[in-house]
Amino acid sequence: MENEIIRIENLRRTFRVGNEDVHALKGISFTIYRGEFVSIMGTSGSGKSTLLNILGCLDKPTSGEYNIDGVSVSSLSKNQLSTLRNRKIGFVFQSYNLLARTTALENVELPLLYNNEISTKERHERALAALQAVGLENRMHHLPNQLSGGQQQRVAIARALVNDPVILLADEATGNLDTRTSYEIMTLFQQLHQQGKTIAFVTHEPDIAAFTTRTILLRDGHITNDCAIEPKSAKEALESLPVSDDY
Amino acid sequence: MNILNLIKIAIKALLRNKSRAILTMLGIVIGIASVIAMVSLGQSSTLSVKNQLSSMGSNMIMIMPSNQMRGGVNLGFASAKSLNERDLKSIRANARYVAAITPMVNSSAQLVFGSNNHPGSIQGVDACYLDIRKYELESGIMFDENDVKKFAKVCVIGKTVAKELFTNGENPIGQTVRFGTIPMKVIGILKSKGQNQMGQDQDDVVLAPYTTIQKRFMAITHYNMLFASALSEEQSEMAATEITYILRSTHGIANGSDDDFEIRTQEELLTTMSSITGMLTILLAAIAAISLVVGGIGIMNIMYVTVTERTKEIGLRMSIGAQNRDIMMQFLAESVILSLIGGVIGIIFGLLLSYAGCTLLKWPYVVSQTAIALSFLVCAATGIFFGWYPAKKAANLDPINALRYE
Ligand SMILES: Nc1ncnc2c1ncn2[C@@H]1O[C@H](COP(=O)(O)OP(=O)(O)OP(=O)(O)O)[C@@H](O)[C@H]1O
Ligand SMILES: [Mg+2]
């Protein structure tokens, strides 16, 4: 049981738009255990982002129980949620969301700035280590506009890793990237998974989901399928890409 | 987040939009500069008034007869004669806080020397008048007790009078001038004192023994005024009270009746003048403060723009663990730094401005530490006050909406 990272029970999220209620999530339950690499699939509007925002403590469910790393989220205040995000969660966005005119290293340091227990020295060391983990230590003084999309997403992943989160959440992290770069990013995620990271990954591309160990299928706010799969190797997929795909 | 990182981040954000930051600062610079300039100039003018007033005399007390109403009858003519030798003697004998006292009798007359003449008045005083009014002799001597006793026909003249009468480079001392029909011997010349606060030429004076004026010019026994000086500035109030008491008793004024004389101390004059310049200073500073408010609104405006522009950044910072307070502090730090830097530049400009003003007006230059310290506080307060709402707006953003903001 101590291997439970995330447990949700009968989670609902209803948005009020004008006089109408939009039910984005209609009672969802699952558990994610330590070391899993979960992909959350579904058509557009099925509620994937809504779910991930709740898992990332950016949003609160309308009803239902949510536990992350043994903490019940529903009772927490706004500030406590911030602290929880800062210590336990790494978020990767589709549009990278790096701070402009701020170097890669400083971008990666950012989460640690909001943790007063971490000294300046430790902050630098950990940011550097995170950049090394994504293979960008030689780009640490580059600004986001001096990096390719794939490199920017790597910086964003390093930023998500730097606080050593219990889970890495990614919302369409490869959505803005071409196939080759997507596979490179998936190779990185698989490496992180092998190092023991727990990852939940939203995508609507089946070939990306194929690199994960478990797929949860959402449809219209319900889970329609939840099964373990044998992951394909992203590295091999990358190598087998035709060279002509490179233009 | 610790304060050092907060300041670093704020400065970095400001540097990203240098020209905007500078233009925003300009409002504060102008506001603070005008406040500082007005306050300093105000203090300089007060000081200048003070200096000039105190150069008029040392802890001076003026005693004048006053027009009296008694039973509805104006006794003006009679009471104008109310000061006389008995009063002088009584004060000299009894007052403990009075350092010196002199009577004064004025007579206006045409001064003539050779073919030159000078319209003016002659003031009959005692020798101690020089000390009371802070006059000094440049050459010659002052008349003495003996001259007073003998109604001597001698006089001491000021620079302006000397210049007007002695146009051929004669040494005035020892020369005889005529006042109307009476010849007087010039025995001394006063050092120049220049103009006083009211623009009067203090060198246009002729002094003679008061007895001479009383007996030879006007044939009167009363005095026009008495001039006294208190032992010290602090004691001038007590000296005035004492003189009032003595005069009331020599004049036999019953309890409950009004004085038939008026007493003005130099201190009173000083307080009146200071309160006028003080009020002017406050008025000008208040007008200047309006420009500071305008500058503050400029900051508020820019901070709102900044918050809107950086909505996405705010969303990101929140999503990685920034608390409301962190976001709030980040934007407050920006506005406070903006206004503090503007304030420092404004203080420098303000001091330069008031220095130029003082040099131009020949006022003493005072740097008011209080005004500077206050300006700092006002700047910080301006930054916080006008940065508060934009920062609050930023801190209250919803992280998801902020992240989605385009
Ligand atoms: N803030 C909101 N206010 C109102 N309705 C919302 C809000 N956010 C999401 N919804 C609704 O909830 C439903 C699920 O949206 P969500 O963004 O989770 O879909 P998604 O699965 O992530 O889609 P996509 O693949 O296109 O990103 C949609 O019908 C959407 O209109
Ligand atoms: Mg989505």
Task: Give dist(CA B41, CA B35) in Å, integer.
Answer: 10
In this complex, do A111 and B1 lie within 8 Å of one another by their Cβ atoms?
A: no
Query: Which residues of chain B neighbour A83 with C-beta distances below 8 Å?
Result: 321, 323
Percent of chain B, pLDDT > 90?
35
**Residues of the domain holding A222:** 35-54+88-245
pLDDT of residue B68: 56
> Could you tell me which residues are beta bridge partners of residue A11?
A28
What is the CA A215 to chain-centroid distance, rounded? 15
Tell me how close the Cα of B318 comes to any Cα of chain A, in angstroms: 7
Ligand 1 pocket test target in A17, A21, A49 with most atoms within 8 Å of CB: A49
CA distance A35 to chain B (A): 22
Decide if B188 contacts B175 (C-beta within 8 A).
Answer: no
pLDDT band at A244; cut points 50, 70, 90: low
Residues of A in contact with B2 (CB under 8 A): 116
Whether B334 and B306 have beta carbons less than 8 Å apart is answered as yes
Tokens of B397: 């953003």
The domain locations on chain B are: 3-52+272-404, 98-229
DSSP B83-142: -BHHHHHHHHHH-SSEEEEEEEEEEEEEEEETTEEEEEEEEEE-TTHHHHHT--EEEE--
Distance from C-alpha of A75 to C-alpha of A65, rounded to nearest angstrom: 10
User: What atom in ligand 1 is closest to the CA of residue B400?
Assistant: 1
HSE (side-chain half, CA atoms, 13 Å) at B137: 15
| Of B32, B24, B31, nearest in space to B299 by CA | B24
Nearest CA to ligand 1 atom 26: A44
* Cβ separation A115–B317 shorter than 8 A: no
Distance, in Å, from the CA atom of B43 to the CA atom of B38, rounded to the nearest integer, reads 9
Range of weakest confidence among A133-147, A165-179, B272-286: B272-286
Q: Let me know if residue A67 belongs to a domain.
A: no
Nearest CA in chain A to B1: A114
In the prediction, which pLDDT does A164 show?
A: 94
Q: Which 8-state DSSP code applies to residue A141?
A: T
Residues in B closer than 8 angstroms to A110, CB to CB, are 317, 320
Distance from CA of A236 to the nearest CA of B (A): 33
pLDDT in tens, A62-120: 999 999 999 999 899 999 999 999 999 999 999 999 999 899 999 999 999 999 999 99
Asked whether the beta carbons of residue B400 and residue A97 sit closer than 8 angstroms, the reply is no
pLDDT in the model for residue A190:
96
Residue B208: left if φ>0, alpha if ψ -120 to 50, beta else—which one? Answer: beta
CA of A50, closest atom in ligand 1: 18
Nearest-5° angle of CA B53, CA B54, CA B59? Answer: 120
Q: Name every residue whose Cβ is closer than 8 Å to that of residue B90 and which is 6 or more positions away in sequence.
A: B246, B247, B249, B250
pLDDT reported for residue B107: 87
Q: Phi and psi of B233, rounded to 5°?
A: -60, -40
- CB burial of residue B131 (10 Å; 0-12, 13-18, 19+): middle
Cα distance between residue B397 and residue B316, in whole Å: 11
Would you say B113 and B166 are in contact if contact means Cβ atoms under 8 Å apart?
yes
| 3-class SS of residue A70 | coil
Tell me the nearest-neighbour CA distance from B405 into chain A, angstroms.
11
Taking CA atoms only, the protein residue closest to ligand 1 atom 14 is A47
Side-chain-side CA neighbours of B215 within 13 Å: the count stands at: 12
Q: Is B257 left (phi over 0), alpha (psi -120 to 50) or beta?
A: beta
User: Is the Cβ of B374 closer than 8 Å to some Cβ of chain A?
Assistant: no
Nearest Cα of chain B lies from the Cα of A238 at a distance, in angstroms, of 31
pLDDT in tens, A1-36: 468 999 999 999 999 999 999 999 999 999 999 999
CB nearest to A58's CB, from B12, B324, B400: B400
pLDDT at B16: 87
Phi-psi region of B112 (alpha: psi -120 to 50; beta: other; left: phi over 0): beta
**Minimum-distance CB partner of B400 among A59, A101, A159:** A59
**Out of A85, A99, A116, whose CB is closest to B319?**
A85
Ligand number, closest to the Cα atom of A43? 1
Question: What are the pLDDT digits (tens) for B317-337?
Answer: 999 999 999 999 999 999 999
The predicted model gives B291-311 an average pLDDT of 90
Choice between B396 and B197, residue whose per-residue pLDDT is larger: B396
Residue B72 is inside which H or E element, if any? none
Q: 3-class SS at B32?
A: helix
**CB–CB contacts below 8 A, A to B:** 58
Q: How confident is the model over B102-106, as a mean pLDDT? A: 92
Contact B326 A114 (CB under 8 A): yes
Q: Whose CA is nearest to atom 4 of ligand 1?
A: A15
Burial zone of B90 (CB within 10 Å; 0-12 exposed, 13-18 middle, 19+ buried): middle
User: How many A from CA of A48 to the centre of ligand 1?
Assistant: 8
Give this complex's ipTM: 0.94
Closest CA in chain B for residue A102: B12
Task: Flag if A82 and B318 touch (Cβ within 8 Å).
Answer: yes
φ and ψ at B367, to 5 degrees? -95, 115
Q: How many angstroms separate the CA atoms of B255 and A221, rounded?
A: 102
B321 to A58: CB separation less than 8 angstroms, yes or no: no
Longest dimension (CA), chain A: 54
What is the number of H-type helices and E-type strands within chain A? 8, 10
How do residues B146-190 score in pLDDT, each as one tens digit? 998 999 999 999 989 988 888 888 888 998 998 888 899 999 999
Nearest CB neighbour to A111, from listed B2, B315, B320: B320
What is the average pLDDT across A135-157? Answer: 95
Q: With 70 as the cut, is the pLDDT of residue B198 above it?
A: no
Mutation pick for ligand 1 pocket among A19, A20, A50 (CB with most ligand atoms within 8 Å) = A50
A218 Cα nearest atom in ligand 1: 21
Residue nearest to atom 6 of ligand 1 (CA): A15
B151-168: b (≥16 Cβ within 10 Å) or e: bbbbbbbbbbbbebbbee
b/e map A225-243, b = 16+ CB within 10 Å = eeeeeebeebeebbeeeee
Looking at CA atoms only, how far is residue A245 from chain B in angstroms? 32
Q: Which of B1, B312, B399 sits opposite A114 (nearest CB)?
A: B1
User: How far does residue A50's CA lie from ligand 1's centre (Å)?
Assistant: 6
Considering only the beta carbons, identify the residue of B2, B316, B321 that sits closest to A82. Answer: B321
Spatial separation of the C-alpha atoms in residues B175 and A52, rounded to whole Å:
111
| Cβ neighbours around A106 below 10 Å, total | 18
CATH of the domain at A44: 3.40.50.300
What residues flank ligand 1, with Cβ below 6 Å?
A 15, 17, 22, 24, 42, 44-50, 204
Could you give the C-alpha distances from B284 to A101, B40, B275, B279, B288, in angstroms and in order?
A: 45, 11, 14, 9, 6
Q: Which of the residue ranges A156-160, B67-71, B80-84 has the most confident prediction, judged by mean pLDDT?
A: A156-160
A184-225 residue pLDDT tens? 999 999 999 999 999 999 999 999 999 999 999 999 999 999
Q: B116-125 and B98-113 as β-strands: parallel, antiparallel, unpaired?
A: antiparallel
Count of structural domains within chain A:
1
Cβ pair B320:A101 closer than 8 A: no
Nearest CA in chain B to A59: B400
Q: Measured between alpha carbons, how far is B239 from B268 in angstroms, rounded to an integer? A: 13
Cβ <8 Å between A113 and B318:
no
